[in-house]
Structure 1
Amino acid sequence: MQVNFDELPKNLIKSELKRRGLKVKNLVDLLKPFGEDLTELSFNNKMSRGGFSAVFFLKCMQALEVKDLKVGE
């Protein structure tokens, strides 16, 4: 199976939100202590572009308290 690396970070964030029963608004609030002052709209725009940094992705994972991350099979 071919991995779409352009979509993978966005899909991982979405799946972690769903797994925890959280909404974008919750994640936006959780990101504030990590120095990310976003609105829901700016977060959604960032996600739709998909071109965010690894640092932003890791902040999201930390904010969601992800301890283990499975990327492949």
Structure 2
Amino acid sequence: MSEWNHKVKRLLKSELVKRGLSTEDLTVLLNSNGCAETKSSVDSKISRGTFSASFFMQCLYVIGCTKIEIEQFNSSFIISQPSNLLVAEPKTDLKISRDEN
């Protein structure tokens, strides 16, 4: 399991524990908010730690979590040229000319 999957799984589980909720409680809350989940599907997703961001946000929403604290993460991934990873809108106005023929 990747480090990130393990971290997000622990984060969701810890939010459930803080509120005294089980995965069965989570399943009921999800279903009452329009999500079609079974207890086994929720258990499986959390166990794998490979659920989607939307599932994660739905879970946090239904349990009443409005803030999460993300722990410091040290990775072996080294960014050699950070400027290559940034994307920004140009600060100049673009002029579009149309040929009228």
Higher helix share: 1
Aligned pair count? 70
Higher relative contact order (CA 8 A, sep 6+): 1
Structure 1 segments of 4+ aligned residues over 3 angstroms from their partners? none
Which stretches in structure 1 are left out of the alignment for 5+ residues? Answer: none
Structure 1 residue 61 and structure 2 residue 35: aligned? no
TM superposition score normalised by structure 2: 0.62
Larger Rg, first or second structure (1 or 2): 2
Where does residue 22 of structure 2 map in the other structure?
23
TM superposition score normalised by structure 1: 0.83
| Distance in 1 (alpha carbons) for counterparts of 2:23 and 2:30 | 11
Please report how far the alpha carbon of residue 27 of structure 1 lies from its aligned counterpart in structure 2 after TM superposition: 0.5
Where does residue 83 of structure 2 map in the other structure?
none
Please report how far the alpha carbon of residue 35 of structure 1 lies from its aligned counterpart in structure 2 after TM superposition: 2.9
For the 8 Å contact 2:5–2:48, the answer to whether it is kept is no
Indicate the RMSD between aligned Cα atoms, in angstroms: 1.4
Q: Name the aligned partner's letter for residue 19 of structure 1.
A: K
| Distance in 2 (alpha carbons) for counterparts of 1:69 and 1:25 | 22
Which stretches in structure 2 are left out of the alignment for 5+ residues? Answer: 73-101
For the 8 Å contact 2:27–2:38, the answer to whether it is kept is yes
Give identity over the alignment, percent: 36
Please report how far the alpha carbon of residue 49 of structure 1 lies from its aligned counterpart in structure 2 after TM superposition: 2.2
